[in-house]
Amino acid sequence: MAEPVVLVNSFEVPAGQAEEFIAAWEFQFVNVARWQSAETFAAATMSAGFGQAAAGLAGYRPHPGLYRIVRT
């Protein structure tokens, strides 16, 4: 059975470009999302809708990572 994963994606935003980044992304600089599994996350990122939704972030270097929760 697939295990849930959490996406943490921080972005490098050059000095002076924070306002443009915020306009493209409504929360400042870190994206945290829970996914049913790594496979469902991968499938979502391959969809046309995902690419369209993320188009405004294309100029900012992301550092995504999927993590399994081992203890809460």
The band of 9, judged by pLDDT with boundaries at 50, 70 and 90, is: confident
Distance CA 32, CA 1 (A): 23
Determine contact, residues 26/56, Cβ cutoff 8 Å: no
The band of 28, judged by pLDDT with boundaries at 50, 70 and 90, is: low
Task: Please give the pLDDT value at position 70.
Answer: 67
The pTM of the full predicted model, rounded to 2 decimals, is: 0.55
pLDDT higher at 8 or 44: 44
Distance CA 6, CA 46 (A): 18
**Average pLDDT estimate for 23-46:** 83
Would you tell me how many other CB atoms lie within 10 Å of the CB of residue 26?
Answer: 6
**Average pLDDT estimate for 27-43:** 83
- Please report, as a single letter, which amino acid is at residue 44: A
